[in-house]
Amino acid sequence: MDDSSERKTMILKEDLCIVRQTEIAPRIFELVLKGEMVQDMQAGQFLHLKVPDPSKLLRRPISISEIDKEHKEATLVYRVERAGTEILSKLREGQTIDTMGPQGNGFDLSVVGSGQTVLLIGGGIGVPPLVETAKQLHEKGVKVVSVIGFANKDAVILEEKLSKYGPVVVTTDDGSYGRKGYVSEVIEEMDWVPDAIYSCGAPGMLAYVDQRFADHPHAYLSLESRMACGMGACYACVVPLKGKGQDQNRRVCEDGPVFATGSVQL
Ligand SMILES: Cc1cc2nc3c(=O)[nH]c(=O)nc-3n(C[C@H](O)[C@H](O)[C@H](O)COP(=O)(O)OP(=O)(O)OC[C@H]3O[C@@H](n4cnc5c(N)ncnc54)[C@H](O)[C@@H]3O)c2cc1C
Ligand code: FES
């Protein structure tokens, strides 16, 4: 992204203190952390958490969902997948987590202003970074419309939080909550063009957004990829640039995780 160097912050290492940890849906946890690092966080960045187990050498990247600079608190929302996130989910209030961050380039919110309208598109466990994004856009007078999709009713998260900042349409694949179907079906019916689009979710959903808004000047995708160092040194996380040779790529941890539509191969 053009002005990424301006928005990038220094990566810090700190033991963040757990304020609380709550299971908000089956196997999905909300983790509130406190520390000085919060002062440097931006919407769309992520934290790299060390799992407190000597056999887990690699840190786990988790997006920042909410930032409360006044109380130096950041909220993460993550799903327990395998052993690392399972161990994280057992940590309790008062314990600390060895954390590196804030990492990556977040969403560029400077491209829209008061009175303009943005579309947030989220899928499943990709919805968390959209909450802080919605909050900050709302604070600057931008109208926020969210379309978020989940597998089923049990997996629906963060609808209430996003609703504080504007209308939210929820879809579920099986129709057990909200509208049955995919977020793409809702977006195809829209008769207006958003001034900016911010999205995070499963690869299939991001591929749709990438193609649907390929020519939009302010449409962004937040990507996931397997990471090792998480700070630009090892190239474990690269994605190829669209239309370039195999040697032309970008690191998701350092150059992303947010990329403009039409820029990388999904
Ligand atoms: C930039 C970024 C932001 C993310 N934000 C969130 C979030 O907000 N909430 C959430 O639930 N998940 C998020 N993820 C996915 C999360 O990192 C993985 O689910 C988690 O690392 C799995 O760890 P595990 O030990 O349970 O699984 P394991 O499969 O045992 O992990 C083994 C290794 O693979 C890596 N890995 C496994 N799955 C993924 C994945 N999907 N993406 C990247 N690395 C993976 C792990 O970090 C670890 O190094 C994010 C991933 C990235 C890259
Ligand atoms: S994880 Fe090492 S460069 Fe991205």
Ligand nearest to the CA of 53: 1
Let me know whether 121 and 217 are in one domain: yes
61 in a domain, yes or no? yes
Let me know whether 92 and 172 are in one domain: no
CATH number of 201's domain: 3.40.50.80
CA of 211 to the centre of ligand 2 (A): 26
- Which residues have a Cβ under 8 Å from the Cβ of 62 and sit 6 or more positions away? 46, 47, 49, 76, 78
What pLDDT, on a 0 to 100 scale, did the predictor assign at position 244?
74
- The structural domain count of the chain equals 2
CA of 113 to the centre of ligand 1 (A): 33
pTM over 0.85: yes
Tell me the mean pLDDT in the region 49-56.
96
Let me know whether 98 and 42 are in one domain: yes
Within 10 angstroms of residue 10's Cβ, the number of other Cβ atoms is 6
Q: Is the pLDDT of residue 5 over 60?
A: no
Is the peptide bond between 102 and the residue preceding it cis, with omega within 30 degrees of 0?
A: yes
| Tokens encoding 239 | 């994605």
Nearest-5° Cα angle at 125, 123 to 130: 70
Q: State the closest ligand 1 atom to the C-alpha of 28, by its place in the atom list counted from 1.
A: 11
177 φ, ψ to 5°? Answer: -155, 145
List, for residues 194-214, the tens digit of each pLDDT value. Answer: 999 999 999 999 999 999 999
8 in a domain, yes or no? yes
Helices (H) and strands (E) in the chain, counts: 6, 16
Cα(52)–Cα(56) distance, integer angstroms: 8
What pLDDT, on a 0 to 100 scale, did the predictor assign at position 247?
73
Our mutation pick for probing the ligand 1 site, out of 224, 237, 238, 252, counting the most ligand atoms within 8 A of Cβ, is 224
What pLDDT, on a 0 to 100 scale, did the predictor assign at position 243?
84
Tell me the mean pLDDT in the region 99-117.
97
Extended strands (E) in 151-195 = 168-172, 179-180
**Is the CB of residue 83 below 6 angstroms from any atom belonging to ligand 1?**
yes
255 in a domain, yes or no? no
Let me know whether 114 and 213 are in one domain: yes
**Is the CB of residue 223 below 6 angstroms from any atom belonging to ligand 2?**
no
Let me know whether 28 and 129 are in one domain: no
115 in a domain, yes or no? yes
Pair 77, 157: CB distance under 8 Å: yes
CA of 23 to the centre of ligand 1 (A): 18
- Which residues have a Cβ under 8 Å from the Cβ of 42 and sit 6 or more positions away? 7, 9, 67, 102, 106, 107
Let me know whether 68 and 114 are in one domain: no
**DSSP run (H or E) holding 136:** helix 128-139
69 in a domain, yes or no? yes
Let me know whether 115 and 68 are in one domain: no
Let me know whether 34 and 98 are in one domain: yes
Let me know whether 92 and 161 are in one domain: no
Amino acid at 86: E
List, for residues 151-195, the tens digit of each pLDDT value. Answer: 999 999 999 999 999 999 999 999 999 999 999 999 999 999 999
CA of 232 to the centre of ligand 2 (A): 4
List, for residues 34-44, the tens digit of each pLDDT value. Answer: 999 999 999 99
Cα(120)–Cα(149) distance, integer angstroms: 11
Cα(97)–Cα(210) distance, integer angstroms: 35
- Which residues have a Cβ under 8 Å from the Cβ of 231 and sit 6 or more positions away? 11, 48, 100, 103, 253, 254
Tell me the mean pLDDT in the region 214-243.
95
- Across the beta sheet with 28-34, the strand order is 60-63, 46-49, 96-103, 12-25, 28-34, 73-79, 66-68
**Is the CB of residue 85 below 6 angstroms from any atom belonging to ligand 1?**
yes
**Is the CB of residue 206 below 6 angstroms from any atom belonging to ligand 1?**
no
**Is the CB of residue 82 below 6 angstroms from any atom belonging to ligand 1?**
yes
Let me know whether 214 and 122 are in one domain: yes
Closest by Cα among 69, 103, 91, 127 to 19: 91
Within 10 angstroms of residue 154's Cβ, the number of other Cβ atoms is 14
250 in a domain, yes or no? no
CA of 116 to the centre of ligand 1 (A): 34
What pLDDT, on a 0 to 100 scale, did the predictor assign at position 8?
59
Closest by Cα among 32, 39, 31 to 12: 39
What pLDDT, on a 0 to 100 scale, did the predictor assign at position 117?
98
What pLDDT, on a 0 to 100 scale, did the predictor assign at position 10?
80
CATH number of 90's domain: 2.40.30.10
What pLDDT, on a 0 to 100 scale, did the predictor assign at position 97?
98
Q: Is the pLDDT of residue 114 over 70?
A: yes
Q: Is the pLDDT of residue 28 over 50?
A: yes
240 in a domain, yes or no? no
What pLDDT, on a 0 to 100 scale, did the predictor assign at position 112?
98
* 204: containing domain: 109-222
Residue 251, strand partner residues: 238
Let me know whether 99 and 9 are in one domain: yes
20 in a domain, yes or no? yes
Q: Which of 62, 83, 103 is the last residue of a domain?
A: 103
What pLDDT, on a 0 to 100 scale, did the predictor assign at position 6?
47
Q: Which of 103, 130, 151 is the last residue of a domain?
A: 103
Q: Which of 38, 72, 103 is the last residue of a domain?
A: 103
Ligand nearest to the CA of 106: 1
Tell me the mean pLDDT in the region 244-253.
86
Q: State the closest ligand 2 atom to the C-alpha of 251, by its place in the atom list counted from 1.
A: 4
Instruction: Give the pLDDT band of residue 11 (cuts 50, 70, 90).
Output: confident
Let me know whether 94 and 117 are in one domain: no
**Is the CB of residue 228 below 6 angstroms from any atom belonging to ligand 2?**
yes
Tell me the mean pLDDT in the region 124-133.
98
**To the nearest whole number, what is the mean pLDDT of the chain?**
95
Cα(61)–Cα(74) distance, integer angstroms: 14
Q: State the closest ligand 1 atom to the C-alpha of 86, by its place in the atom list counted from 1.
A: 26
Our mutation pick for probing the ligand 2 site, out of 235, 249, 250, counting the most ligand atoms within 8 A of Cβ, is 235
What pLDDT, on a 0 to 100 scale, did the predictor assign at position 196?
98
